[in-house]
């Protein structure tokens, strides 16, 4: 078997020649690294680049983040999904200002106490920004190490996670820790890939990889199957009153908390029920017509949406939480989650 020193050397040399050029790799600023790591959770690198640059331009310091209005923060985050990440960023920024005078903690054990920062993110920030000798184990690293050592443990289990962490800790060099951690992650993201056939011939460790040698890359890593998502039918009302559109703010807790949405109902109500719903909120329907269907997938639930275009008339003041807004404001000011992106497209395409 290849020695640990050889693994380190081969990985570092490979990373120097093959690492993707990414904006957050050009800095040691722990705030910028933190922002990028949170954005990269559940989101593709290609999608994050534009958001990251826009975010740090508008909120270049932790003080800016702590003081930004929620609606503007969510607007900056719009399209990335999992908005609780943005909420936790702001909350954590406030804690860093209060407890650390606005200076990011430089130890994993302190970072992991902040909202939204788990073991991986804490390890990534501590090692990349501060070169702390600590692992940063994400799904990519789990896959690389499982295949390299031929582990058949279910990577969703505590036992497997502990075993892989122990292996990575043993591999960590005495310096350039962040670079080594990034090399492992990069190998998993670009070569030892999760979906499809891994690019084993491009891997610097291929000659010693157990899964490659034994042709078990399709079976490793072992991962228990997730539960099927719940399918939830919804009916969305794109309601125009004069030149403005009806939106409402979602509850402060739960899915898509505090974001703006187009009014919608669970299930497939009749036209009469839809008219009654709007009338209860002080809008009389002049016309209603079926528009396009859409689907949005969350981690645990799938919305299957029927959409209706409505022309209405305001009878009296709107209920609290409801708002009429222009198309321009809808696009530029209000944070409408990706679940309703088809609604924005419909509105923007209307003549």
Q: pLDDT tens digit string along 153-165?
A: 999 999 999 999 9
Catalytic residue flag (residue 132): no
**Is the separation of the CB atoms in 18 and 186 below 8 Å?**
yes
When pLDDT is cut at 50, 70 and 90, the band that residue 84 belongs to is very high
pTM for this entry: 0.86
The H-assigned helical ranges of the chain are 4-18, 30-40, 45-58, 62-67, 70-77, 84-100, 108-111, 119-130, 139-149, 158-171, 177-190, 210-213, 271-280, 327-332, 341-349
Please state the rounded mean pLDDT for residues 80-99: 95
Could you report the per-residue pLDDT of 287-337, keeping only the tens digit for each?
A: 999 999 999 999 889 999 999 999 999 999 998 889 999 999 998 899 999
Which pLDDT score, from 0 to 100, does residue 135 have?
97
For residues 164 and 146, the answer to whether their CB atoms sit within 8 Å is yes
Which pair of structure tokens corresponds to residue 120?
């991986």
Q: Which helix (H) or strand (E) holds 198?
A: none
Which residue of the set 16, 26, 37, 273 is catalytic? 37
Q: How do residues 13-27 score in pLDDT, each as one tens digit? A: 999 999 999 999 999
Banded pLDDT at 271 (limits 50, 70, 90): very high
- Alpha-carbon span 163 to 151, nearest angstrom: 9
Can you tell me the distance from the alpha carbon of 334 to that of 273, in angstroms, rounded to the nearest whole number? 28
């Amino acid at each position: 078997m290849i020695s640990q020193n050889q693994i380190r050397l081969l990985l570092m040399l490979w990373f120097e020649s093959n690492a993707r050029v990414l904006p957050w790799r050009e800095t040691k600023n722990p705030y910028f690294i933190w922002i990028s790591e949170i954005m990269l959770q559940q989101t593709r690198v290609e999608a994050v680049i534009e958001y990251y640059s826009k975010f740090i331009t508008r909120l270049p310091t932790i003080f800016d983040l702590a003081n930004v209005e929620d609606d503007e923060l969510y607007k900056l985050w719009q399209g990335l999904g999992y908005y609780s990440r943005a909420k936790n960023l702001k909350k954590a920024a406030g804690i860093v200002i209060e407890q650390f005078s606005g200076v990011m903690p430089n130890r994993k054990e302190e970072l992991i106490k902040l909202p939204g920062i788990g073991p991986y993110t804490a390890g990534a920030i501590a090692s990349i920004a501060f070169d702390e000798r600590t692992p940063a184990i994400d799904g990519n690293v789990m896959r690389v190490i499982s295949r390299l050592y031929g582990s058949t443990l279910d990577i969703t289990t505590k036992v497997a996670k502990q075993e892989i962490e122990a292996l990575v800790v043993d591999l960590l060099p005495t310096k350039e820790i962040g670079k080594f951690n990034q090399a492992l992650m990069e190998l998993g993201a670009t070569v030892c890939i999760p979906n499809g056939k891994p690019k084993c011939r491009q891997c610097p460790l291929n000659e010693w990889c157990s899964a490659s040698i034994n042709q078990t890359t399709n079976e490793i890593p072992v991962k228990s199957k997730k539960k099927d998502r719940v399918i939830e039918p919804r009916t969305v009302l794109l309601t125009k009153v004069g030149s403005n559109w009806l939106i409402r703010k979602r509850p402060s807790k739960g899915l898509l908390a505090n974001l703006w949405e187009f009014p919608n109902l669970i299930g497939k109500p009749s036209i009469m029920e839809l008219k009654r719903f709007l009338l209860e909120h002080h809008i009389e329907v002049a016309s209603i017509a079926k528009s396009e269907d859409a689907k949005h997938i969350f981690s645990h639930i799938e919305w299957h949406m029927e959409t209706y275009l409505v022309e209405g008339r305001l009878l009296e003041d709107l209920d609290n939480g409801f708002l009429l807004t222009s198309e321009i404001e809808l696009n530029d000011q209000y944070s409408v989650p990706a679940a309703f992106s088809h609604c924005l497209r419909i509105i923007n395409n209307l003549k």
